[in-house]
Chains A and B, each alone.
Chain A
Amino acid sequence: MSIEKIVKKLQDVLNIDKPVTKLMPTNEAEITISKQHILLAVKTILKSGIWHLSAITCQQLESDFILLYHFWKSGGLTLRIRVDEKNTQIDSICSLVPGAEYYEREAREMFGIEFLGLPNPIPLLLPDDWQGGYPMRKKEPPTHDKPEDNNHKQKGKSS
């Protein structure tokens, strides 16, 4: 099924009448959906024969977060979802696309997006004892204060 047909099908299933925008340089289709529809949208995409999720991009625009799900099969299809800063919960798609686990874990620890049903919600890149907040958020610049390292201090004293 071609990307145009899949986009048409998505619009029918989700009752969307907004126009489809294009991402450069290869004119990848991009479609905006609401966050309640994420699982239904991904199911529709998988049924249409696209299985490859290239990445999930998370970014902060003023007070909102934007999640971009980049699907690809000889052409790109991106789902754009707005997540409110006050309610950062969204359904995890790991039950449908197991390969999304690392992308969701990264968005979780870097931006504080809460993925409901994420199978392994532990830090992926940040240290276990990280206390610097969500480093990729705009309003929270990364802190250089390290948590107290008691072992190091004690070693220093004895030597």
Chain B
Amino acid sequence: MSKITVPIGPQHPLLKEPLSFLVSLEGEKVIDSTLRLGYVHRGIEKLAEQRTYIQNAYLIERICGICSHIHSTTYCQSVEALLKLEVPKRGLYIRMLLCELERIHSHLLWLGVLAKNIGLNTLFMYAWRDREIVLNIMEEISGGRVSHAVNIIGGVRVDLNEKHLSLLQKSLQELNMRVDEILQSIENDRSFRARTRNIGCLSLEDIKRYCVVGPVARASGLDIDIRRDAPYAAYDELSFEVPLMTEGDVWARSILRILETIQAIRLCTQIIHNLPKGPVSVSAPRRVPAGEVVSRAEAPRGEVFYYVRSDGSQNPARLKVRTPTLTTLITLPGQLKNMQLADVSAVIAGVDLCIACGDR
């Protein structure tokens, strides 16, 4: 049979962000695929070298439009380590609260995208309707629905008041109920299962070889979570479970992300009940002493890695960002091999790509 090459992207209804796939087909079967990044490359690592540490806190947030807060959290905690600053407990708790709200928001957004790609429009609308609850909370706390600019070097710039806490309490209860409903419906839905079971499989061996992190790794049975294994902020003071599955297909990734959302809601509730009193930030000097630091955090898509080197001036000498999407992108050609063309959309959506993160 003759081979046909189909381009998917950089502009394609299937993709929410620009990424280019070249898929080679034999009939309806994918025999090979290559991908090309760089359509949203903004040179943020180079830009950061020309800006001050304070300006960078806002620049870094623009790496990603979904997980913006985790980027500035990881950046700020690395600069704080260089400055040997101790962030007040209340500041750390508010940071963690936004991290977990962002996880809920990211997972619900992803569920909507997957549902849309496999033709389940009702689930897409439910997921995005429920995502509004989180976005409203974030807007109430920080003033921004996606970019929050909450983190500053030395703590956070917003404090929670009684109004915020009562809104959080009410909204989280409602969200918990809604997410439970979603979990039940996707666990039992025959069409969801038919479209996601046994596709895009990754074995535990592959996960380790390609250094994959986050929900994709956990859905294949690799028990890795930075929040538990190398606690940052104040995660060691909270109790939570890390869901684990072994099937390694798109279905397992979906269930796992919903279970993670439930854990994130639990964490948010714990944070607002145990919120320490006191200041939310300490003042930080402009100049950062010379030194090197590495910092890791668990973003909604897995481990995010930062390396900062200071030469004692106001600007970082080198800032390196490694986002979790890069680790999952490299596995995609392998996952797509021998798939039916109709399943390509589910596989691409199933790994939860964030191309803006990957390109930086």
Contacts and interface: CB of A to CB of B under 8 A. Distances in A.
Given A97-B211, A98-B209, A99-B212, A57 B318 contact: yes
A103 B209 contact: no
A136 interface: yes
Interface string B184-225: 000000000000000000000000111111000000000010
Given A23-B293, A102-B330, A136 B45 contact: yes
Interface of A: prevailing SS? mixed
Contact of A51 (B208, B229, B305): B208
B330 A78 contact: no
Contacts of B291: 24
Interface residues of A, number: 34
A70 B292 CA distance: 13
Nearest to B309: A59
Interface in A39-82: 51-55, 57, 59, 68, 70, 72, 74-76, 78
B37 A125 contact: yes
Given A51-B211, A78-B294, A102-B330, A24 B82 contact: yes
Contacts of B37: 124-125
B46 A136 contact: yes
A99 B330 contact: yes
B38 A70 contact: no
A126 B211 contact: no
Contacts of A70: 294, 305, 307
B303 interface: yes
A112 interface: no
A54 B323 CA distance: 9
A121 interface: no
Interface string B23-46: 000000000000001100101011
Given A55-B307, A99-B327, A142-B46, A23 B230 contact: no
Contacts of B45: 136
A28 B327 CA distance: 22
A117 B41 CA distance: 26
A25 interface: yes
B168 to A, nearest CB: 29
A154 interface: no
A25 B295 contact: yes
B38 A24 contact: no
Contacts of B295: 25
Contacts of A135: 43, 46
Nearest to B226: A72
Contacts of B296: 54, 72, 76
Contacts of B330: 98-99, 101-102
Contacts of A53: 211
A26 interface: yes
B315 to A, nearest CB: 13
A55 B38 contact: no
Contacts of B320: 55, 57, 59
Contacts of B329: 102
B318 A76 contact: no
Given A74-B229, A78-B294, A102-B330, A55 B210 contact: no
Nearest to A52: B211
Contacts of B260: none
A145 to B, nearest CB: 15
B229 to A, nearest CB: 5
A25 B307 CA distance: 11
Nearest to A124: B37
B38 A123 contact: yes
B77 interface: yes
Contacts of A98: 209-210, 330
Interface in A85-99: 97-99
9 contacts: A23-B292, A23-B293, A52-B211, A59-B317, A59-B320, A74-B229, A99-B210, A102-B326, A136-B46
Given A23-B292, A24-B81, A52-B213, 11 more contacts: A24-B82, A24-B291, A51-B208, A54-B211, A54-B296, A54-B322, A59-B317, A76-B296, A97-B209, A101-B330, A135-B46
> What are the nearest 3 A-B pairs in CB distance?
A99-B211, A25-B81, A55-B322
